Chains A and B, each alone.
Chain A
Amino acid sequence: MSEGIGAAVKRKEDKRFITGRGKYTDDIRMENQAYGAFVRSPHAHAEIKGIDTSAAEAMDGVIAVLNGKQLKDDAIGDIITGWAITSKDGNPMNVGAWNPMATARVRHVGEPVVIVIAESQAQARLAAEAVEVDYEELPAVAAATRALEDGAPLLHDNVPGNLIFDWEIGDEAAADAGLAGATHVTELDIVNNRLAPNAIEPRSAIAVYNDIDDHYTLYTTSQNPHVARLVLSAFYNIAPEHKLRVIAPDVGGGFGSKIYIYPEEITCLWASMKTGRSVKWTSDRSEAFMTDAHARDHVTKARMGFDADGKIVGLKVNTVANIGAYASLFATATPTYLYGTLLSGQYNIANVYCDVKAVHTNTVPVDAYRGAGRPEATYVMERLMETAAREMGMDPAELRRRNFITEFPHQTPVIMTYDAGDFHALLEKGQAAADIAGFAARKSEAASRGKLRGIGYSCYIEACGIAPSKAVGSLGAGVGLWESAEVRVNPVGTIEILTGSHAHGQGHETTFAQVVSDRFGLPMDNITIVHGDTDKVQMGMGTYGSRSGAVGMNAIVKAMDKVEAKVKKIAAHTLEASDDDIVIEDGEVKVAGTDKKMAWHEVGLAAYTAHNLPDGMEPGLKEGAFYDPTNFTFPSGTYICEVEVDPETGVVEVVQFTAADDFGTVINPMIVEGQVHGGVTQGIGQALLENVVYDEDGQLITGSYMDYCMPRADDVPSYVLEHSTTVAPSNPLGVKGCGEAGAIGSPPAVINAITDAIGNNNLTMPATPHKVWAAIQEVGLPQAAE
């Protein structure tokens, strides 16, 4: 069986993961290692009146007790926001200053105030408990809509009304005119619930300062070590880049939460310099709930207008986005350019307008999490479509069909140019796999068991890759979002691929090797993928936004193009043929149509011995490339969910879930299936179970798995997966990306199915048994179940 593109090769990395031999940050132990523990605010909003560290300093094993003022005095920079958004009135956004450790005021529960460095983790934690911080409590606000009200507590002096920006996209007058002329208008109030990311490996950092060389090394749980180094150097003044090495070893899940450079990592680096010790900090699960960037948390009013034929004539969306106490790295991009730009969905809509108010509140900062803006957009679009179909008495699939975009490229009114897709094909594949024709029979069979069965659709489109750099730069991004790779062919012909993408569960060691194996006809065992170390990999922008395939793998392709050209030149020279006649097949470099050939490793050896190279050719066989795509990629799909609701208890069972996706070229179908399984499960988690709750005082009351419910295997069905492929025209491999689709497409399908089952559209996520039961009581039991 081939190991090339399209083969379901088993994951190379799993051997070490499933035998417990992965090497994660917390597994690493340095000589002279000390441990950090943070003293964190128990208050949502308070002034720091004083800090008494004397008792802690006197305790066994304590090396140092350091606070935010000392850190600021050493010129360590404030934490930055990486994307500048301009308000619709032309003013730049206002974001509050974010000190790595609080200096004067704390603004969310869990904000770090002091770090204790001690000989053991237990000693550090014990001493942290002995630090006395004198707080003067201030009024707090946790809900974004409340934070915008007159008289609401204000978080930052430079952010009047807690409003970071009031941004718009699209033409408001045109959307209003479209809605005014509509024969039917569907209106929805939508809440997209706040989530906590919950990667299985908590965040961790070991900072190692070497005073001889004035050099730092940071081992950390990062999705993008080069970006971490860049930001730590350029903005936080830890050290210039040549004096700072960032290593992200095996990382156990990220989902976006490990993109950011958090206060703890910065503080550990600084503390290592202050103490002359290696400083390790590993988050516990409780810290993770109140420090890992949260997600979603939108409140939206949406109106969609239709003409008599069911064609969409206008869409207007007003959203309030909760950014939390501070604006994290991608926090301002997520509810704007990753959200408003997808509000055309799969549909041909002339008039779309969206306004987003981003708000500071006394909560954990909110940032990108699997999907990032696109799940929120899809939820708005697909709840509207299903609701409108019901209101107009139309089949929800037919309403979508009438509005599908069918010609590409298609310019939406909200920036994006969709370059490929076949939405009709996806819907057909999904409907066939879900056996739509048999639904009525399944529903009546369920009714005979006293269950309410419902069905819901979601036809999603997303934008992946977060590139080209020129495009994101024009929209306010602080960096370019290309990717880099290096292909090193060794003298014996084996290959090392150095990539700026970072794997934390995605299986890059397998899929990236497949792309190389496919190109040169070499066994995968001869190919190694190297990533996650700024001293090894030349540069990188990292892994998020489903970009490792669409951008990262294509950077490898570009580097392989250069290697191939050189291989052909060497072979042509040796075999006395023309470059153009050389072909590379099955690990051999041949002159087409003859029996003249060299083994792959012979070319490698020739390149390094350099005894007989073409005139002027440099020895060696190693090429690098930076790849910047020409467009975002646009994965799309149809998801169909069937649920059964127990009307006595409100318990929802997802009994069937069909996903028909278009991811462009698929490198490894097994790994892609795994990504869809994981993404859909996270989406079902959001729809049914997960919810971060703050009380009115800004206290986080879902701070453990007792109160924050994660999906388990028995919450999800065995998924039915289908593919319909249109190749992405914007990159050489034709891949679109699959990492986020499941989490983007699934929540509206689940809620559409439940509201269909119970006959009440008034239901918010998570649809817990209590909420579903109450919604059933609100309208009475549907006829079918009586």
Chain B
Amino acid sequence: MDMTGEYQIAANRADVWQALNDPDVLRACIPGCEELEMTSDTTMTAKVVQKIGPVKAKFAGEVELVNIVVEESYTIQGEGKGGVAGFAKGGADVRLTDGDGHTLLTYEAQATVGGKLARLGSRLINSTAKKLADKFFENFHDHLGGADKDGDKTVSDAPETKDAQSERA
């Protein structure tokens, strides 16, 4: 599964970058995140509870930041184990550019799932992942002081009601 997205964030690039590297911000913005601890400058462990279709599980995962170009881009990659629910792993290339009074964040992400998630939830993975990504950036946008604004959070990909089947086709 591949996803791309683009978000306008009402903050300057340095602030966005800092927030993207702040475990407290990430913990607050990642949907279902219960724990997130830095284990080094570029690695962290996380616990996230998610429900995908009929499968609800707590994922324990390790996340790593690589290809870091300060205030411009990084690749965030990780793997989460959900016990009998299976596993999910993937990564995203995140890039920041200056926009007109905002910072433009673009990402390209890939994810794969295995175990029960694949068996029972595969047709729901794309729509769920997209929803989670949007929720994260909505939270992230709000966290950076954009709570009073709406309507311009995303300039592309507002797939909340997109049908899972048509995405697979």
Contact = CB atoms under 8 A, between A and B. Distances in A.
B118 A700 contact: yes
B122 interface: yes
Interface size for chain B: under 10, 10 to 19, 20 to 34, or 35 or more residues?
A: 10 to 19
A660 B65 CA distance: 67
Interface size for chain A: under 10, 10 to 19, 20 to 34, or 35 or more residues?
A: 20 to 34
B84 A109 contact: no
A517 interface: no
B118 A699 contact: yes
A480 interface: no
B118 A286 contact: no
A286 B120 contact: yes
Contact of A704 (B83, B114, B115, B120): B120
Nearest to B118: A699
A704 B119 CA distance: 7
B17 interface: no
A706 interface: yes
Contacts of B83: 129-130
A128 interface: yes
Given A42-B86, A42-B87, A128-B84, A706 B114 contact: no
B153 interface: no
A697 B118 CA distance: 11
A700 B112 contact: no
Given A42-B86, A129-B83, A286 B116 contact: yes
Contacts of A75: none
Contacts of A109: 114-115, 118-119
A286 B119 contact: yes
A707 interface: yes
B123 interface: yes
Nearest to A289: B119
A43 interface: yes
B48 interface: no
A695 B118 contact: yes
Contacts of A44: 114
Contacts of B54: 704
Interface in A733-786: 770
A560 B116 CA distance: 53
B94 interface: no
Contact of B119 (A129, A130, A703, A770): A703
Contacts of A286: 116, 119-120
A701 interface: yes
Contacts of B123: 706-707
Contact of A706 (B113, B116, B120, B169): B120
B114 A43 contact: yes
Contact of B84 (A129, A701, A704): A129
A290 interface: yes
Nearest to A694: B118
A39 B123 CA distance: 24
A526 to B, nearest CB: 51
Interface in B93-124: 112-116, 118-120, 122-123
Contact of B118 (A129, A130, A703): A703
Contact of A42 (B116, B120, B122, B169): B116
A601 B120 CA distance: 60
B13 to A, nearest CB: 37
Contacts of B116: 42, 286, 703
B56 to A, nearest CB: 12
A43 B115 CA distance: 7
Contact of A697 (B84, B112, B120, B169): B112
Contacts of B169: 770
Interface string A680-704: 0000000000000001010111111
Residue with the greatest number of chain B CB neighbours at <10 A, chosen from A128, A130, A697, A701: A701
Contacts of A130: 83
Interface in B76-97: 83-84, 86-87
Residue with the greatest number of chain A CB neighbours at <10 A, chosen from B54, B83, B123: B83
A48 to B, nearest CB: 14
Contacts of A289: 119
A335 B87 CA distance: 35
A692 to B, nearest CB: 11
Interface of B: 54, 83-84, 86-87, 112-116, 118-120, 122-123, 169
20 contacts: A42-B114, A109-B115, A128-B84, A129-B84, A289-B119, A290-B119, A695-B118, A695-B122, A697-B114, A699-B114, A699-B122, A700-B119, A702-B119, A703-B116, A703-B119, A704-B54, A704-B120, A706-B123, A707-B122, A707-B123
Given A42-B86, A286-B119, 8 more contacts: A42-B116, A44-B114, A286-B116, A697-B112, A699-B114, A701-B119, A703-B120, A707-B123
The 10 A-B residue pairs with the shortest CB-CB distance in the complex, in nearest-first order: A703-B119, A42-B115, A699-B118, A701-B122, A129-B83, A42-B86, A42-B114, A129-B84, A704-B120, A699-B114
